[in-house]
Amino acid sequence: MEINKNYANELTVGTQFFENIPGGDYAGEIYVMNADGTGQTNISNNPAFDHGPSWSPDSTKIAFTSQRGISNNNNEIFVMNADGTGQTNISNNSANDFGPSWSPDGTKIIFASDRDAITNRDLYVMNADGSNPTRLTNNPEDETWPSWSPDGTKIAFQSQSEGENEVIYVMNADGSEQTNISGGRFGIDPDWGPAVDTD
């Protein structure tokens, strides 16, 4: 895989800002800005709570979680173009779907959902257009905040399968060989370091 060595300098970063609403409530919006903080632009621009942006590997699209779902406060996975156009609900389910992360080749998105359970959340993977959602974990406790490894072979995630203590697990991209890598230590919201060009 060819790596652009200037990627970090050229890429506009996505973030989530909170905006106050009369009555003391708040809304989340997805903004883009330059790496030095200039050029802050609201690209989600919706009264619903939008959060958790994730760039596609080619930087043309952003996946995010939004509460503009089919019922009140229903989290859904949306994808939009990098300029905010073409906002599309791709999970489209009455359950709570959240925390999207793109596969390194841009063909799939992994996310957390409670769609097949009453109280716990598991990890699912779907095609980038929302088709063929497939369950990867099936445990009695929560699995959330998945993150693909740069080579696409592994997925790190946060789990409460050790009781109330969140720990970090890693599994193969097909959901097999789920392994606790943080031991008994508390761990949340894992992320991988960038791929390194060794040429």
Residues 121-138, mean pLDDT to the nearest whole number? 95
pTM: 0.81
Distance CA 179, CA 169 (A): 5
Distance CA 156, CA 177 (A): 12
CATH topology of domain 7-147: Neuraminidase (2.120.10)
Strand order through the sheet with 50-55: 50-55, 61-66, 76-81, 88-89
Q: Read off the pLDDT of residues 163-181 as tens digits, 9 standing for 90 and up.
A: 567 888 899 999 999 888 8
Distance CA 42, CA 35 (A): 15
Write b or e for each residue in 58-77: b if 16 or more Cβ atoms lie within 10 A of its Cβ, otherwise e: eeebbbbbbbbbeeeebbbb
Write down the domain spans for the chain: 7-147
Q: Residue 47: its pLDDT value, please?
A: 83
Q: Read off the pLDDT of residues 68-105 as tens digits, 9 standing for 90 and up.
A: 865 666 899 999 999 999 999 999 888 899 999 999 99
Would you say residue 11 has pLDDT above 70?
Answer: no
